[in-house]
């Protein structure tokens, strides 16, 4: 049996906070449903938002208060023990589970200062890279000197930097071997708004290029799924705030990026709308709306703080789009709905019937993989072969 360490205790604190908050939230849902039934409104219309009164209201307030009091007591008790435990290592699979939890509830974790919330960082071979002294930490992680060509890899929703290695292959490591890139992997809380992660990434890169031990000649970014939207948002923030790193950005490659949204999130939003039509089912929308801000941004591919206004690709940067479809050939259904199982082809290629929203990626910089799923874009040999072509110096 593994020895209890500080990481285990931190995870336990974070999980207990989530459990007690979820219990208190469930009490709120039950109270709202109870209140609605008491008032017997029409089957369709707005739900009454008045809390229960009298003894019933007292019971609900007591239950809520008791849950929060117990939760606070447990949290304080666990925190007091943490200092007596060794640092230790996390259990296998912990990082993947943490990334998934952040993807679904990441904005809540950050808002409540939950210790499970992931902070944006740069990684190399699974180890952290300190942007205040990236040269030393990069050498320690990789065992090689940093080069003048940076390759930044940005993962998607509910994933982390370790997911770039799939089926024994890592696009970043392979491109580094062939073209002399220094690959850096972004780890971030994918449950935050995309524009929040975009701003954080832009600020991180501005610091990195100032502290990188050799002059940077070229920066290339590969973004998978939501990672491509975060990269675009970072470019938007950098352009609006005059960041220097944007001048070094040469290429951005999008792998299955939902530039115009994903039908799965639009379906979730539609379900919320239907439940809201009746006061008897409206309280249940609280459960559905608990999904993270990052997931909700995927409804239309929103990358700006002010919503879904059309945002062009960064000026002077060569942009490429790789899309996948589960079908053997293109069709209207595959282009608009099926795609790679999560992202339709038209969305991944930046195509839109409204001219102002179309990204205008040239056909020569588009590529489609057939009989291929969303995560297979991370490891299929034909995807890597296309990346090689796009990232060669003459491309």
For range 189-203, the mean pLDDT: 97
Looking at 3.40.50.300, 3.30.420.40, 3.40.190.10, 3.40.50.1820, the CATH number of the domain 121-263+295-391 comes to: 3.40.50.1820
What is the tally of helices (H) and strands (E) in the chain?
13, 10
Which residues, other chains included, contact 155 with Cβ-Cβ below 8 Å and sequence gap of 6+?
99, 161, 163, 164, 185, 186, 187, 188, 190, 224, 225, 227
Q: Are strands 165-166 and 169-170 parallel, antiparallel or unpaired?
A: antiparallel
Tokens of 50: 């008045």
Q: Residue 272: what pLDDT?
A: 43
Number of CB atoms found within 10 A of residue 37's CB: 11
* Confidence check: pLDDT of 173 > 50: yes
* Confidence check: pLDDT of 335 > 80: no
CA distance 271 to 262: 15
- Please tell me the chain's helix, strand, coil percentages from 3-state DSSP, rounded to the nearest 5: 50, 15, 35
| Residue among 265, 194, 200 at smallest CA distance from 230 | 194
Mean pLDDT highest for which of 88-92, 277-281, 286-290?
88-92
Whole-number average pLDDT of the chain: 81
Q: Residue 22: what pLDDT?
A: 57
Angle at 235 between CA 196 and CA 139, to 5 degrees: 85
CA distance 24 to 64: 5
Judge contact between 204 and 245, C-beta under 8 A: no
Q: Residue 365: what pLDDT?
A: 97
Element (H, E) at 368: strand 366-370
Supply the pTM of this predicted model: 0.80
User: Which of 38-47, 69-78, 289-298 is predicted least confidently?
Assistant: 38-47
Q: In what order do the strands lie in the sheet with 149-154?
A: 127-129, 121-124, 182-187, 149-154, 218-224, 249-255, 318-325, 366-370
Q: Residue 338: what pLDDT?
A: 73
For range 75-89, the mean pLDDT: 54
Reduced 3-state DSSP string for 133-195: CHHHHHHHHHCCCCCCEEEEEECCCCCCHHHHEECCEEHHHHHHHHHCCEEEEEECCCCCCHH
For range 261-287, the mean pLDDT: 48
């Amino acid at each position: 049996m593994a020895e209890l360490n500080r990481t285990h205790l931190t995870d336990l604190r974070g999980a207990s906070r989530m459990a007690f908050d979820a219990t208190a939230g469930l009490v709120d849902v039950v109270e709202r449903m109870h209140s609605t039934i008491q008032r017997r409104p029409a089957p369709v219309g707005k739900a009454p938002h008045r809390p229960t009164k009298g003894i019933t209201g007292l019971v609900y307030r007591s239950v809520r208060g008791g849950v929060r009091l117990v939760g606070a007591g447990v949290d304080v008790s666990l925190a007091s023990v943490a200092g007596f435990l060794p640092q230790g290592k996390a259990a296998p699979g912990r990082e993947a589970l943490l990334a998934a939890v952040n993807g679904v509830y990441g904005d809540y974790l950050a808002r409540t200062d939950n210790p499970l919330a992931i902070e944006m960082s740069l990684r190399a071979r699974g180890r952290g890279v300190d942007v205040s002294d990236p040269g030393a930490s990069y050498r320690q992680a990789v065992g090689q000197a940093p080069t003048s060509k940076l390759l930044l890899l940005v993962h998607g929703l509910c994933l982390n930097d370790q997911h770039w290695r799939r089926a024994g292959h890592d696009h970043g490591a392979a491109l580094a071997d062939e073209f002399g890139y220094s690959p850096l992997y972004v780890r971030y809380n994918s449950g935050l708004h995309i524009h929040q992660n975009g701003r954080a990434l832009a600020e991180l890169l501005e610091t990195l290029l100032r502290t990188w031990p050799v002059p940077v000649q070229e920066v290339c970014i590969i973004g998978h799924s939501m990672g491509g939207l975060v990269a675009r948002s970072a470019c938007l923030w950098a352009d609006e705030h005059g960041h220097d790193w944007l001048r070094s950005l040469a290429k951005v490659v999008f792998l299955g990026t939902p530039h115009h949204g994903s039908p799965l999130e639009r379906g979730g939003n539609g379900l919320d709308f239907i439940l809201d039509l009746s006061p008897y089912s409206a309280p249940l929308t609280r459960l559905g709306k608990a999904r993270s801000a990052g997931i909700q941004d995927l409804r239309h591919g929103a990358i700006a703080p002010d919503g879904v206004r059309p945002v062009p690709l960064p000026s002077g940067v060569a942009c490429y789009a790789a899309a996948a479809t589960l079908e053997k050939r293109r069709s209207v259904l595959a282009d608009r709905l099926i795609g790679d199982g999560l992202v339709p082809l038209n969305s991944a290629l930046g195509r839109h019937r409204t001219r102002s929203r179309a990204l205008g990626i040239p056909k020569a910089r588009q590529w489609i993989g057939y009989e291929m799923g969303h995560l297979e874009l991370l490891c299929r040999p034909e995807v890597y072969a296309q990346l090689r072509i796009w990232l060669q110096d003459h491309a």
